Amino acid sequence: MEHLAGGDLSEVLLVRRPDGRLSVAKGGPAAASEAAMLRGLAAAGVPSPAVEGELGGVLMLEHVENDRVFSPAAWRSIGSALRRLHDKQGESYGWPVDYALGTVALDNRQRSEWPAFWLEQRLVPTASVLDRPWRERIAALGSVIADLLPAAPAPALLHGDLWSGNILVRGGRLVALLDPACYHGHAEVDLAMLTLFDTPDAAFWEAYGPLEPGWRARRPAYQLFPALVHLRLFGAGYAGMVERLLAALDGAD
């Protein structure tokens, strides 16, 4: 066995089976939830590692070869797959079970009001253990979020933790999306996180298709959540990112 790159929030090992096949063993408290999410991605027509087994907090997955070359063709493949994922819609916002991103617990109670879900089940709880000035500024965003976000966007199936580290490509095409944190919500949530940490090629946007009017104004509100998660998990190096996004939202008030 050997450790694989990544695994910021859980241990990930490459396992060589007796017949020579390679598998990935991933530890964590939510193996069954992640297995269900990976199966959900596959059912939506999105490449993802096959689930080989789950037992006692260990998830066994197919090992997917990749070359990490994000060419325009690869970005086009990613854009097409993400559109397929987002076209798979639910009946409400949220997910059947709660889970966590590391130590950040996520409240996935399903509801029909999107701005309230985003503020009350993503932004405010994630900021709840930060210093008081951060908490107060996030709590004060209620009117901004209510005015800025659509009341009832299509409840798209989201990957939920979309950045290039969770995207495997090979030979100019997407071969797997990894480490999902799925729920149903506004499709722009995935796009916002992807653009927070990466710069998709123009081919990605062409393949994904047109965005809804007002997406630029909404993007800071959606990027604020992963920024807060990173501030919680990885420290003060992300404070500037959070501050920048809050300043953008102050300007939207």
Catalytic residues: 161
d(CA 43, CA 46): 7
Phi, psi of 111 (to 5 degrees): -150, 170
d(CA 49, CA 42): 8
d(CA 30, CA 130): 25
d(CA 114, CA 90): 13
CA distances from residue 160 to 91, 152, 190, 241, 248 in whole angstroms, order as listed: 17, 18, 6, 19, 22
Q: At what angle do helices 188-197 and 72-87 cross, to 10 degrees?
A: 150
d(CA 224, CA 211): 19
